[in-house]
Amino acid sequence: MNASLAKKMSFLVVSVVFICCCRSHGVTAANKPIQTFVIPHSHMDVGWVYTIQESMHAYAANVYTSVTEELSKAEDRRFIAVEQEFFRLWWDTAATDSHKRKVRQLVKEGRLEFIIGGQVMHDEAVTDLDDEILQMTEGHGFLYETFGVRPQFSWHVDPFGASATTPVLFALAGFDAHLISRIDYDLKDTMQKNKKLQFVWRGSPSLKEKQQIFTHVMDQFSYCTPSYVPFSNSSGFYWNGVALFPDPPKDGVYPNMSVPVTKETVHAYAKTMVENIKQRAAWFRTNHVLWPWGCDKQFYNSSVQFNNMDPLMKYINQNSKDFGVTVQYATLGEYFQAIHQSDLVWELRGSEDFLPYSTEPHQAWTGFYASRNVLKGVARRASAQLHAAETLFTRYRISFPDGPVAKDWALDKLRALRWAVSEVQHHDGITGTESPKVADMYLQHLLQAMMGVEELLAALFLLPHNLDQHVIVYNPLAWNTTTIINFTVTFPTAAVFDDDGQPVPAQVSNATYDLFIVVELGGLQQRKYLIKFSEKECSGTLKCGWTYEAKGVLFERLNVRDWLKTGRRLLPVLNQCYKLMFDQDTNLLHSITYLPEKRRVRMTQDFWEYHANGDVKAGPISDNYIFSANGSAVRAYEAVAMEIIPGKIVTEIRQLFFREEGDQDYAFSITTRVPECFGSRLPCHRLEQTYSLGPLRLNTEVVLRTSSSLENNKTLYTDDNGYQMMKRTHRKFANNTVARNYFPMVRTAYIEDELSRLVLVSDRAHGVSSQADGQLEVMLHRRLWNNLAWNLGYNLTLNDSSVVRPTLWMMLGSVSATAGLYQREAIELHPNNVITVLTPWQEKEPKERSPLRSVVLPPNLHLLSLSIPGWNYSSNHSVHLSHVHSGNDMRSEPDYDRVLLRIMHLFEEGEDPELSKPVTINLKDVLRGIGEVKVLEERSLTGTRDITSLQRWKWKTADNLETSDAFTVTISPKEIRTFFVHFASRNF
């Protein structure tokens, strides 16, 4: 199968194997008709080739208008609605009052079923846990407030591979069953033959049966109706044809409309459909077949669809004895209900995932792990800013309920950024697999919403207007932290003072005017710093405020061809944790010694590149999705320059890599910052590295290669969505071994041997691999073009000429030393601290509010969320349903008093002797720094269910969920617990 057909399965041509033999269907008698559940759906990408606005205009709005009308005409008709962004846009901008009344009735009757319920069908490989939860919470809140429904099932039919974190999150949200489709072609074939496409998945090795979930893998036909119809050259069972962009045809005649169902054609259609149903039935254990009816951009003219399918289904049912098949319209819930009632014992699957994903031997979908690096970075920064703003607004709202920051205005700013961050999690968004104009749309939505939240942060900080510069730093984590912040200034000399007027350790680089400041912050606290600038050097500790001017030392630029003897002249850079040795014969890193354990590891870092084939006639190609290495990687540079800038706060090593010996401008760079551990307060164990790459040459894919003396046997560990680590054992394949051994790294990756572990944590998603013993390579940037007609037609060739500047933090030490560090480091890099620079300074400042009290959790617990969602619904489900069914079409005013709190245990069972233990905390005590907790309710992950009444379906081995009393809760390894918190009101 080529990439164009594999991408969306829209017009998948499969030779139908006719199955005429009788067979046994699990516990059902062999002669009983196969019960077929025809599930009408439309797969609507929130992005991909066309912008959201273009899709709404061309077809998406018509899907919901037309489906609403058609379902109301016949009681047996059904439809599942998947992507909430399109539905919400339709509901808010296009639906009439009549449509809304009909939708409410259809939802009440269960004939229109909301599946997944998130804003989008999120990607599973490069999305972060925080953002997956956010987009689900946004969609679930809307659905519950508006209709009183809580989704129970997933429909993850199109993400490019399946992570083990997703089923855990869906179980935590109260889902009863999970559905996926895209897994390796050879694995799916084996599972089909052995009737193992359905199983109970225990996605977390720590939570085990607590969050297991029944999982259905779609067969080889995936989510699209088979397009093979012997007598038709059109699109099979899509009688409404193919959507047209930018404008629908005025006469309603679309291209590729299938031959209508008539008396003359009905038997041929029935024969084709029945044969396909029987083929599918052979792959499953029960007598029930899920037959998805739909595909990309379908049902925009659903009257044509239903008016053709109705007589076809009627004909099959009238001849069910001859066909051995019955058919019925169904929701996904009706199908899973039938499977659940079969009462079979299901095979268990552990925490292994289905990544990476390949559609054929030469098509490994591992390129998108690194596609559109800029978009991945902006999306992560937006998520970090949102997290900080949510916690800050929540604190402000509790402390100053009648404060000057308008609550409606503030919530609008937050909701705009929630929406932008949610939509980019779409499986053709954060993945970088969309067209350039859609990537620009995502970036525009993110940046506009981020600007709005910057206004909100400025208002919440109540910023004064004065002379010099004034910096406010906020810590959005519930941990005390000491860290270094930095930004570029315009003067060579600066003095920094805290809000008590005391000098603060700081450093300015004379080369780039980078100002580094050591800051200490309590959990959820903010501090203010005054920066005084001068063009002249100052003298005296008091006047300069401890500021140190760092001056760089340049080293000779060296050509690779002159590297005859290396390792003779080694230059050390030390702090309390590490001794880094740099080779003056190459200008590269030579080794690192972890000083507390006196353990030395040989290590080199540099840039290599894979050359991609751009001609489909010459062999496999790389594109937005696929990485198909055209041979081994080659060195991407011919010369290296180095500058070392020693400092009292941080020492910088800047390495510049030149593509050609004679180039004046460097193509790549590594800036390594070694913290100098002021006193013992500043963590010395992380080495902060920032890279610069680009513009790349066409059809190159550039990796940072870290080569070490670790004996890892090419075994790698990478994170699933920032939630859990997965062991990645190197495998050999007949074809494409390099690409099929690439894995997604969302936050963390490491390699290890018996003595040491090398850890990288990242500020955005990348592809990562271990292609040789001791090697850890990270794909940082890609620029590709090919002549595949499908890619050219949709503008999906990834001619990305941008310059990217990702960041990785590196740690080295024993397994025990790093085990207690990397989770927290990944989180500290993910949200980071929000820095607001203000000008000018005012000599007489307004009276300050009392400082915020700190909120500190134990080191193995993480404050995942602290926000005011604003959704207004009763915590009592029966009460809320009565309100919804009263016929009130107006959504309620936002609830500003309900706080959504999530706390996550960072460690796996057995990972650390102390940090992996369950933790018991009193939330009233923990949250005292915010206010007095009056009411605490434990909820499902997205907040729409009371955990005490949540009863998920039992699949033979499921256990009842545990609950806690009063304000004391115990959080076990890898648990995420969600609460509604109400604080006592304050009067000032």
615 is catalytic: no
Helices (H), 896-954: 923-926
φ and ψ at 705, to 5 degrees? -110, 120
Residues 784 and 867 in one domain: no
* Measured distance CA(502)–CA(491) in Å, rounded: 21
Over residues 613-627, the mean pLDDT reads 94
Rounded to 5°, the CA angle 514-518-519 comes to 125
Q: Which of 748, 779, 813 is the last residue of a domain?
A: 813
- Residue 924 scores a pLDDT above 80: yes
Residues 119 and 213 in one domain: yes
The 3-state DSSP class for residue 373 equals: helix
Percentage of residues of the chain with pLDDT beyond 90:
76
- Residue 782 scores a pLDDT above 50: yes
Average pLDDT, the chain: 90
Residues 597 and 673 in one domain: yes
Sequential DSSP letters for 465-477: -BBSEEEEEE--S
* Measured distance CA(474)–CA(476) in Å, rounded: 6
Residues 568 and 693 in one domain: yes
423 lies in some domain: no
581 lies in some domain: yes
- What does the pLDDT look like over 136-150, one tens digit per residue? 999 999 999 999 999
- Residue 377 scores a pLDDT above 50: yes
Using pLDDT thresholds of 50, 70 and 90, give the confidence band for residue 92. very high
- What does the pLDDT look like over 198-254, one tens digit per residue? 999 999 999 999 999 999 999 999 999 888 788 887 888 999 999 999 999 988 889
Residues 200 and 87 in one domain: yes
Q: Which of 361, 376, 403 is the last residue of a domain?
A: 361
The 3-state DSSP class for residue 810 equals: strand
| CATH number of the CATH domain containing 168 | 3.20.110.10
CB atoms within 10 A of CB 849: 12
Question: What domain range includes position 650?
Answer: 554-813
CB 294 within 8 A of CB 63: no
CB 831 within 8 A of CB 476: yes
- Per DSSP, 895 falls in state B
520 lies in some domain: no
142 lies in some domain: yes
The strand pair at 933-939 and 968-971 is best described as unpaired
Q: Which listed residue (158, 428, 514, 720) is catalytic?
A: 158
- What does the pLDDT look like over 101-128, one tens digit per residue? 999 999 999 999 999 999 999 999 999 9
* Measured distance CA(712)–CA(817) in Å, rounded: 18
639 lies in some domain: yes
712: left (phi over 0), alpha (psi -120 to 50) or beta: alpha
**Nearest of 952, 947, 939, 953 to residue 141 by alpha carbon:** 939
Residues 181 and 257 in one domain: yes
374 lies in some domain: no
Which token pair is 786?
């090919």
Alpha-carbon torsion 972, 974, 980, 981, what sign?
A: positive
Which token pair is 125?
């490989």
| CATH number of the CATH domain containing 924 | 2.60.40.1360
The position carrying tokens 């080199």 is 604
Residues 803 and 874 in one domain: no
Q: How far is CA 914 from the centre of its chain?
A: 30
- Residue 678 scores a pLDDT above 70: no
- What does the pLDDT look like over 876-893, one tens digit per residue? 999 999 988 886 655 679
- Residue 29 scores a pLDDT above 60: no
Residues 638 and 721 in one domain: yes
- Residue 814 scores a pLDDT above 60: yes
Burial class (CB in 10 A: 0-12, 13-18, 19+), 655: buried
Residues 304 and 244 in one domain: yes
Q: How far is CA 697 from the centre of its chain?
A: 29
Residues 774 and 884 in one domain: no
- Per DSSP, 59 falls in state I
* Measured distance CA(34)–CA(317) in Å, rounded: 11
Which token pair is 839?
């000008």
pLDDT score at 664? 95
Number of structural domains in the chain: 3
Q: Which of 813, 829, 848 is the last residue of a domain?
A: 813
Report how far apart, in Å, the C-alpha atoms of 192 and of each of 182, 186, 195, 281, 342 are. 13, 10, 5, 10, 19
Rounded to 5°, the CA angle 744-748-750 comes to 95
531 lies in some domain: no
Residues 63 and 190 in one domain: yes
- What does the pLDDT look like over 657-676, one tens digit per residue? 999 999 999 999 999 999 98
φ and ψ at 469, to 5 degrees? -120, 150
Over residues 551-561, the mean pLDDT reads 94
Residues 763 and 675 in one domain: yes
Q: How far is CA 50 from the centre of its chain?
A: 21
pLDDT score at 852? 76
Report how far apart, in Å, the C-alpha atoms of 525 and of each of 395, 519, 827 are. 10, 12, 17
CB 21 within 8 A of CB 381: no
Over residues 468-489, the mean pLDDT reads 86
Which of 512-521, 779-788, 850-859 holds the top average pLDDT? 779-788
315 lies in some domain: yes
Report how far apart, in Å, the C-alpha atoms of 148 and of each of 73, 540, 882, 883, 936 are. 24, 67, 9, 9, 22
| CATH number of the CATH domain containing 699 | 2.70.98.30
* Measured distance CA(103)–CA(107) in Å, rounded: 6
